[in-house]
Chains A and B, each alone.
Chain A
Amino acid sequence: MRIAVLAVQGAFREHEEMLARLGCETQEIRALSDFGQPTQWDGIILPGGESTTQGKLLRELGLFQPLQRAIRDGLPVLATCAGLILLAEKLTDDPTVHLGTLPVTVRRNAYGRQLGSFTCKASCGQLKEVPMVFIRAPYIEQTDKDVEILATVDGHVVAVRYQNQLGLSFHPELTEDTRMHESFLRLAADYAQRKTKIA
């Protein structure tokens, strides 16, 4: 399996290390030439970092449209924190829209500044006791009816799935728990299989 990791800014190396532990090959995407033919990938990770920085670089580097198209065409995506903001169709109190492929409304810095950052454990989909690290994190305020809610913390939605897109407020890559990445790799494996059948 080949997984691309968006590496324009943020904590991309942590995702790469996580996938390496699961025996999966990754490639950093810093430029359009790194992304190349979207069909060569079985999945892509949008890491945490600053969404304003990442969104700007995506546009300047010409990655915006190819990435948006690939996700709309079904490329599995795991988006954490800033990545979730990039995917969101709408942001609360902010007219900015980045990729806009995930039909949810996301509130940036929803827990306030760094002093509001926290960790907890909660269920996420079928997974129990998932350690969740929230760093100046966003949460999801509204979801379209087709969006599956995977996790809520204190009444706020913090993890969703919509078709090929997995959006998380928290950072599984900063923990020792590999289960979220394993779920993502299952999506990627299904996608790889479908691709081969069509080919």
Chain B
Amino acid sequence: MDKQQYELNKGLAQMLKGGVIMDVTTPEQAKIAEKAGACAVMALERIPADIRAAGGVSRMSDPAMIKSIQDAVSIPVMAKCRIGHFVEAQILQAIEIDYIDESEVLSPADDVYHINKRAFKVPFVCGARDLGEALRRISEGAAMIRTKGEPGTGDVVQAVRHMRRMNAGIAKVAALREDELFEAAKKLEVPYELVVYVHEHKKLPVVNFAAGGVATPADAALMMQLGADGVFVGSGIFKSGDPAKRAAAIVQAVTNYEDADLLARVSANLGEAMVGINADEIKTIMEERGK
């Protein structure tokens, strides 16, 4: 990927800011999401809650299924490939996906190497729990970052932890003296140039979304107040009682995340939220995948 293409790919993420990206498994769900105001959809065969319930190996979705979602909506369509599975990524690029999520939600295909995302024209988003992970993914070519959360649980605690850790990491680098940045790069195990960027701009060089466990408008607004540029909602919408209404409410909450009166209004009468799993009670810890 040349520099110009990378700028275009970062630019698409910039256009998604202040928006909600929703997991969908059928063209019908994709249409509901688009109508509710989603700024993009993530096409996958099973949402994380079901992946967690089903267990076993979880892989890239059927390209035919992804295509049916591309045909159903006019907003950008993303899809997931396994960590390190560059052939799944090649297939997703071949069907002209708008963004690839190299995702810990699927079973990792490689326990050492991530995909060399610089070798692709299509943009990638990757999960990160802290500044080091984020800058390593960016160095590999990711054009967008998201927190990892603990997918499919409906428990927002990890997303909060990752976002706070990221902010703390950025604040720390920003406060360093210039001659301390070399040591910081060594400790973070990331390229020096990226550390300099964070030092100078007090932010990541790419857009940073919240993901994992967001189930209510309040969860979404919480992540925005903590500094997220936007929000991914996975299982939280289509595992709830009234998906269309909940989706629209989360979209509103992300726009006016500091307006408590509006948040109260859109949070009212949404029906049942996804039941969720307490993240401490689960065996498969997805956030540990890919460091």
User: Which residues of A does B touch, CB under 8 Å?
Assistant: 7-14, 30-31, 48-50, 52-53, 56-57, 60-61, 81-82, 94, 108-109, 112-115, 117-119, 133, 135-136, 171, 174
Task: Judge whether A115 and B122 touch: CB under 8 Å.
Answer: yes
A61 neighbours in B (Cβ, 8 Å): 255-256
* Given A81-B15, A82-B15, A174-B14, A53-B256 contact (CB < 8 Å): no
Nearest CB in chain A to that of B98: its residue? A114
Task: Judge whether A9 and B96 touch: CB under 8 Å.
Answer: no
Task: Judge whether A135 and B17 touch: CB under 8 Å.
Answer: no
Task: Judge whether B256 and A30 touch: CB under 8 Å.
Answer: yes
Nearest CB in chain A to that of B73: its residue? A52
Which 5 A-B residue pairings sit nearest by Cβ, starting from the closest? Answer: A114-B98, A50-B39, A9-B18, A56-B37, A117-B8
Nearest CB in chain A to that of B96: its residue? A113
* Given A30-B255, A112-B96, A10-B123 contact (CB < 8 Å): no
Can you list 11 A-B pairs with a CB-CB distance of less than 8 A? A9-B39, A11-B14, A50-B39, A52-B34, A53-B19, A56-B251, A57-B251, A61-B255, A113-B96, A114-B12, A114-B98
Task: Judge whether A114 and B76 touch: CB under 8 Å.
Answer: yes
Asked whether any CB of chain A lies closer than 8 Å to the CB of B9, the reply is yes
A118 neighbours in B (Cβ, 8 Å): 8
A119 to B123 Cα, complex, angstroms: 16
Task: Judge whether B8 and A11 touch: CB under 8 Å.
Answer: no
Number of A-B contacts defined by CB within 8 Å: 114
Asked whether any CB of chain A lies closer than 8 Å to the CB of B195, the reply is no
Query: Which of A49, A94, A113 interacts with B15 by CB under 8 Å?
Result: A49
Within the complex, the shortest CB–CB distance from A95 to chain B, in Å, comes to 13
Task: Judge whether B8 and A12 touch: CB under 8 Å.
Answer: no
Task: Judge whether B8 and A53 touch: CB under 8 Å.
Answer: no
* B243-269 with Cβ < 8 A to chain A: 248, 251-252, 254-256, 259, 262
A155 to B15 Cα, complex, angstroms: 26
Task: Judge whether A171 and B11 touch: CB under 8 Å.
Answer: yes
Query: Which of B98, B122, B255 interacts with A9 by CB under 8 Å?
Result: B255
Query: Which of A11, A94, A113, A115 interacts with B17 by CB under 8 Å?
Result: A11
A198 to B233 Cα, complex, angstroms: 50
Task: Judge whether B15 and A48 touch: CB under 8 Å.
Answer: yes
Task: Judge whether B12 and A115 touch: CB under 8 Å.
Answer: no
* B70-115 with Cβ < 8 A to chain A: 70, 74-76, 93, 96-99
Query: Which of A52, A109, A135 interacts with B12 by CB under 8 Å?
Result: A135
A30 neighbours in B (Cβ, 8 Å): 255-256, 259
Within the complex, the shortest CB–CB distance from A60 to chain B, in Å, comes to 6
B74 neighbours in A (Cβ, 8 Å): 52, 94, 108-109
Within the complex, the shortest CB–CB distance from A88 to chain B, in Å, comes to 14
Task: Judge whether A115 and B121 touch: CB under 8 Å.
Answer: yes
Chain B positions 1 through 31: 1 when the CB is less than 8 Å from some CB of chain A, otherwise 0: 0001001110110111111000000000000
A115 to B251 Cα, complex, angstroms: 27
A50 neighbours in B (Cβ, 8 Å): 15-16, 19, 39-40, 75-76
Asked whether any CB of chain A lies closer than 8 Å to the CB of B38, the reply is yes
Nearest CB in chain B to that of A91: its residue? B74
Task: Judge whether B15 and A31 touch: CB under 8 Å.
Answer: no
Task: Judge whether A136 and B18 touch: CB under 8 Å.
Answer: no
Task: Judge whether B11 and A12 touch: CB under 8 Å.
Answer: no
A60 neighbours in B (Cβ, 8 Å): 248, 252
Task: Judge whether A53 and B251 touch: CB under 8 Å.
Answer: yes
Task: Judge whether A49 and B12 touch: CB under 8 Å.
Answer: no
B121 neighbours in A (Cβ, 8 Å): 115
A112 neighbours in B (Cβ, 8 Å): 96
Query: Which of A53, A81, A133, A135 interacts with B39 by CB under 8 Å?
Result: A53
Query: Which of A14, A53, A108 interacts with B37 by CB under 8 Å?
Result: A53
Task: Judge whether B8 and A52 touch: CB under 8 Å.
Answer: no
Nearest CB in chain B to that of A31: its residue? B256
* Given A11-B14, A49-B17, A114-B255 contact (CB < 8 Å): no
Nearest CB in chain B to that of A116: its residue? B96
Within the complex, the shortest CB–CB distance from A179 to chain B, in Å, comes to 19
B262 neighbours in A (Cβ, 8 Å): 31
B96 neighbours in A (Cβ, 8 Å): 112-115
B12 neighbours in A (Cβ, 8 Å): 114, 117, 135-136
